[in-house]
Amino acid sequence: MPYSHRLNRQLDRARENLVAWSARMGIIGQAPGLPRCAAWTEQDLRAFDYVLCSAGLVPDAPLAELDLASAWLCWASYGDDYYPSVFGRNLVAAKAQNRRLAAFMPAGDAAGAPASASPLEAGLADLWPRSTSSMSPANQQQLCGSVMEMLESLVWELADEALNRIPDPVDYLEMRRATFGCSLTISLARLAGRGQVPPEVYRSETIRDLEETASDYACLLNDVFSYQKEIEFEGQLHNGVLSVQRFLGCGIPAAVEVVNDLMTQRLRQFERIIATGLPALCERHRLDGPARAALDEYVQQLQDWLASILHWHRACGRYTEPQLLRRYGAAPGKVAGTLTGLGTSAARITHPPAAAGGRGTPGRGC
């Protein structure tokens, strides 16, 4: 990682603010009828420490902006836990939830939103007006599209789980940018930018390549850190390391090495684009001083994003084995290299006899 992380000075105050916000939304606490993984405890939230990540994403922001960034990150991560825990293979219910959540992002006056019926809905109902009160209709539409892209990618994951399908690395990486919320984070960074950058610049191939290389690095970084949580404890099928294992027919150490090589190449490409692609882009679009300064600020935000995501993964408790054992209540078992613990039957791709047709039915751990 060639970039150093910086932390917002309001980190400690924002941590307490996020706990209070999550309690008001119902995200922490055992909500009636919700599975364990869809109702975090305060201990869970403090261990996850999303404010630590946000404090690196917006190191110079005032407290209100840090609180908003932290709440968005918390809400998106909660949704990532909520969908498989609550909906499982019920794609109809998951799609219905997406339609309801879309209604919480009305254009213009937020008074048109329905009453919230879950912590997920309550969180979005709170975040949307706070984030869009001063946005233009076009920017509101862009942010709404980014949120929906993330939500639709969660349904895509559920569909693969229902088929017991591990996606190949190319398909996986394309969708991983959405499930990790890259578009949402990038949209918020763009919309918060100071200065005037023409929209066609953001739509250029150069900026798209810059964003995708940063996104791929961050997504695969998360997959390396979250492998034990997702595969051994939850029995999920969507992880870059697992995808490489399946595609190449190799073991975990070799798959991690392949993923790390890919991360390294994507980060080097990110640096090359900054060094050569961006100056050419500025010349091609004849950007003036304020526009170039705004674009430089956006690049700095992406660099802060990369550095802070790595720092957060190293420091937070979301993926450490002691926290996983505390949260899930059982240790994963390994027999001759085969996963045998809670919810791990999904990690073993089974094929019934040809006469039976179809694939084996995966287990689902929460």
* Residue 26: how many other CB atoms lie within 10 Å: 18
**Could you tell me if 231 and 85 lie in one domain?**
no
Q: Tally Cβ neighbours within 10 Å of residue 76.
A: 22
Specify if 158 maps to a domain: no
Q: Residues 36, 121: one domain?
A: yes
Looking at the structure, do residues 193 and 321 belong to the same domain, yes or no? yes
According to the model, what pLDDT value does residue 341 have?
Answer: 39
| Planar angle of CA 348, 350, 352, nearest 5 degrees | 165
Q: Do residue 248 and residue 102 come from a single domain?
A: no
Let me know if 263 is exposed, middle or buried by CB neighbors in 10 A (0-12, 13-18, 19+).
Answer: buried
Residues 217 and 341 in one domain: yes
Q: Which amino acid is at 239?
A: N
Q: Are 281 and 206 in contact (CB under 8 A)?
A: yes
User: Is the distance from CB of 18 to CB of 67 less than 8 angstroms?
Assistant: yes
12 and 128 together in one domain:
yes
CATH number of domain containing 345: 1.10.600.10
Across the chain, which has 366 residues, the per-10-residue mean pLDDT values are 94 97 90 71 94 92 94 94 90 96 82 85 95 86 90 90 84 78 71 69 92 92 94 89 94 96 96 96 93 91 92 95 85 39 37 30 30
φ/ψ of 338, rounded to 5, equals -105, 135
- What is the reported pLDDT for 193? 53
User: Are 115 and 218 part of one and the same domain?
Assistant: no
Q: Are residues 130 and 198 in the same domain?
A: no
Q: Per-residue pLDDT tens for 227-276? A: 999 998 888 888 999 999 999 999 999 999 999 999 999 999 999 999 99
Q: Concatenated DSSP letters for 193-224?
A: --S---HHHHTSHHHHHHHHHHHHHHHHHHHH
**Within-domain flag for 327:** yes
Would you say 317 and 323 are in contact if contact means Cβ atoms under 8 Å apart?
Answer: yes
Whole domain around residue 233: which residue ranges? 166-350
In DSSP terms, which residues pair with 334 in a beta bridge? 339
Q: Domain count for the chain, please give it.
A: 2
Q: Are residues 264 and 335 in the same domain?
A: yes
Q: Which residues pair with 335 in a beta bridge?
A: 338
> 297-307: buried (b, 16+ CB within 10 Å) or exposed (e) per residue?
ebbebbbbbbb
The pLDDT of residue 66:
94
Same domain, 112 and 236: no
Q: Do residues 258 and 116 both lie within one domain?
A: no
240 inside domain: yes
pLDDT (tens digit, 9 = 90+) per residue, 56-75? 988 999 999 999 999 999 99
Question: pTM of the full predicted structure?
Answer: 0.84
Which structure tokens are listed for 365? Answer: 């751990």
The pLDDT value given to residue 172: 84
Q: Considering the domain boundaries, does residue 155 fall inside one?
A: no
Measure the CA–CA gap between 18 and 20, rounded to whole angstroms.
Answer: 5
**pLDDT value at residue 347:** 38
